[in-house]
Every structure is written in structure tokens, then in C-alpha cells.
Amino acid sequence: MTAVATAPDTVTTPRFRPHEVFRVVRLHTVNPSIFFGVPWLILGGALVVTILIALILRGSGISDSEDGFRYSWAVLSPQWYLVVVGVQAVAYTFPFALGFGATRRDYWLGTSAMFVFVSFEMAVAIATLVQIEQATNGWGIGAGMFDALWYGIDGWWVDFYSTFALQLLVLFIGASITTVFMRWRMKGMMILLFGGIALLLALIAGLTFTESWPAVFDWFGSIGLVGVFTVLLGLAAVCAVVGYLVIRRATPR
């Protein structure tokens, strides 16, 4: 009674679909506080605290050396939060995007693009803030937040590169670990955790017994700052690829 059409009525579209990938990026930015608001709030807060402490120290006459007050790790304060962002990008946004009809491939491409964009934006901002801090001699009162750790030594481009690499790694580590949970749930996480610890211990043991630690440190020394961060960037890329391979067959529940 009813005739049936058997030919597929959908057109085969090209492999790379910018619209589908871009809408995942937009999905991540619908609520801008997650990727932009909170990290800058954290940095802003750290800066305020740094300045306040510097003022207090100045005021009480404790420190009037040219070094001023340096809160060394403040510049890295948003990183913990950004690991969580990476985790939640997969834990919550992935099931949501899938539920709305995105493919896993487009989701990962879009999320990776978002990570690259955020890392780029933060790297530009922080590298620039380092320059400003140096130029104003620590915001006029010798307070050092951005000009700390490895920053402010080799110029804007190195600062930019190192921040970009670190940021990307932090985001992708959180995300790729969560893909394991999405695909293999608790069992997978356990294997990852114990496997990871076992591997790490084996590595440390191996290096200790072959007394290779000095060689390792020398090597890091020889490749310099840029080299170290290139390694981190490489790790980030590995996480991105592994994450994609894992999420390809992940299910939202």
C-alpha cells in the first residue's frame, strides 16, 4: 500500500564542514564566563592581591630593594581552573552537543579550535602584560606578578610561545583524560590512573637506577626555554590526537 523510496536522499557533503565545526566553538562561548570571564577574574584577583601586598610591604618599609615584591606563582593561578574547564568541556558540553546532533568529529575539532583560540588570547595578553609590568617597574610600586618565573627574560615572543604551549597543554590534558571516562567510564579511568602511576614510577625508577638524572637535566638545559615549551606543545598535540581517537566511539551516557 505504501511505496518506499530506497535511494538515500541526503547529499554527501565534504569532509570538512566549517559551519558544523564553528557552531561547536559558538557553543563554548554561549556562556562567556567559562572560558573568558573566570580566568581573567582569577588573574585580576591575583594582581590585586599582589599589588596590595606590595603596598603593605612598601608602607611598612620592609622592602625597598629594587626587586620589590614578587608573587612568583600568581601568573599561573588560572591554570587549575582551566584544567577543570577542559574536563567540563568534555563532561558536559560533549553530551549536550551530541544530543543536539553534532558529530563527535566536529565536536572535537570545534573544541580544539576553541582551546587554540583561548590559549592564543591568553598568551597574547600575558606576554603583553609582562612588558607593561616591566615598563612601569612593577606597576609603579615594584610589584611583580607577570614578570616572574621564566617570564620577562627573553622578550615578548618567548613569553607568548611559552604561555600558548602551557595553556594548550593544560586544556587538552583535562579534556583528553575526560574522553577516557566518556568511553570506558570508571573502569577506563582506573586503568588510566594506575597505568599512568605505574608508568611514571617505572620511568623514575629507570632513570634513578641508570643514574641518568643529570643527563636529563643537561638535556633540558641544552634545549633551553623554547625547547622545553616545545616539548609541552608536543605533549598537547599528543593529547589532542589521543583524545580524538578515544572520543570517536564515546557515548554520552
Partner 1 sequence: MTRTVVRASGLTKRYGSFTAVDGVDLALEEHKIYGLLGRNGAGKTTIMQLLTGQLFRNGGELEVFGREPAEHADVLRRMCFIAEAQRYPEDFTPAHVFKAAPWFFEHWDAEFAERLVADFRLPLKRRIKKLSRGQLSAVGVIVGLASRAPLTFFDEPYLGLDAVARHIFYDRLLEDYAEHPRTVVLSTHLIDEVANLLEHVILIDQGRILLDRDAEEVRGSATTVAGASRVVDEFVADRPVIGRESLGGLASVTIDGRLDRDERVRAAELGLELAPVSLQQLIVHLTGPEPAGAPEKEVAA
CB atoms within 10 A of CB 8: 7
Check residue 253 for interaction with partner 1 (CB under 8 A): yes
Separation CA 45–CA 47 (nearest Å): 5
Check residue 10 for interaction with partner 1 (CB under 8 A): yes
Check residue 14 for interaction with partner 1 (CB under 8 A): no
Report the residue number, 75 or 180, with the smaller CB distance to partner 1.
180
User: Is 66 in contact with 152 (CB distance < 8 Å)?
Assistant: no
The separation between the first and the last C-alpha atoms of the chain, rounded to the nearest angstrom, is 40
- Determine the length of the chain: 253
Among 72, 136, 212, 251, binds partner 1 (CB under 8 A): 251
| Range 103-122, binding partner 1 (CB under 8 A) | 103-106
How big is the CA angle at 134 (ends 131 and 136), to the nearest 5 degrees?
110
Size of the site for partner 1 (CB under 8 A): 39
Alpha carbon distances (Å) from 45 to 52, 59, 93, 198: 11, 21, 27, 38
Report the residue number, 30 or 135, with the smaller CB distance to partner 1.
30
Check residue 100 for interaction with partner 1 (CB under 8 A): yes
Among 16, 73, 80, 96, binds partner 1 (CB under 8 A): 96
How big is the CA angle at 120 (ends 71 and 179), to the nearest 5 degrees?
95
* Min dist. Cβ of residue 237 to partner 1 (A): 23
Among 73, 80, 92, 194, binds partner 1 (CB under 8 A): 92
User: What secondary structure letter does DSSP report for 50?
Assistant: H
State the angle between helix axes of 18-29 and 104-135 in degrees (0 to 180), rounded to the nearest 10: 50
Report the residue number, 234 or 252, with the smaller CB distance to partner 1.
252
Interface positions with partner 1 (CB under 8 A): 2-13, 17, 20, 23, 26-27, 30-31, 33-34, 88, 92-93, 95-96, 98-106, 249, 251-253
